[in-house]
Amino acid sequence: MKKKWGLRVLFVVSAAVAMFLMFAFALQIPAVGKTIGSPKSCGTCHVMTTEVQTLQKSAHRDLSCLDCHSPKGFIEKPVDEIKTASRHMYVFTTGQTPDVIKPNHAAQEIIQENCASCHRAITGQTHLATQDRFCFECHRDTPHGTPLRN
């Protein structure tokens, strides 16, 4: 009996790992990442309408949402996508969608790292290293809206 149970557990774990790896590989394909995290996809939620519309008019209009809001890395990206999708599904199916969506601290850290990785050559290491603030605290309207202080 134990042998059958052990084989079933091994099969389930192997299948879960295989599915995760397929998802991880799929996210590495630019077309998949751009589709999953596209403004059109993210804009299906009415709360994101303003963000999608303002992104289309910004300097970042050619980026997908995941370019800024998802970590880089083969393991980090799918893990974050699974956590985020699970949280979104729970919030939307239970009717707990807030009127204004704000990133939590972990999401802010991801956005900060992505700002820094793309703009390090422009801003220089000094600008980023001397600040105890997130980029979007000063440049809040850059990705979503009319730039005010840039």
Domains, in order of start, for the chain? 2-138 (1.10.3820.10)
**Whole-model pTM?**
0.71
Q: How far apart are CA 62 and CA 143, in angstroms?
A: 11
Torsion angle of C-alpha atoms 87, 93, 94, 98, degrees rounded to 10: 70
Q: What is the band of 150 on the pLDDT scale with cuts at 50, 70, 90?
A: very low
How confident is the model at residue 147, as a pLDDT? Answer: 45
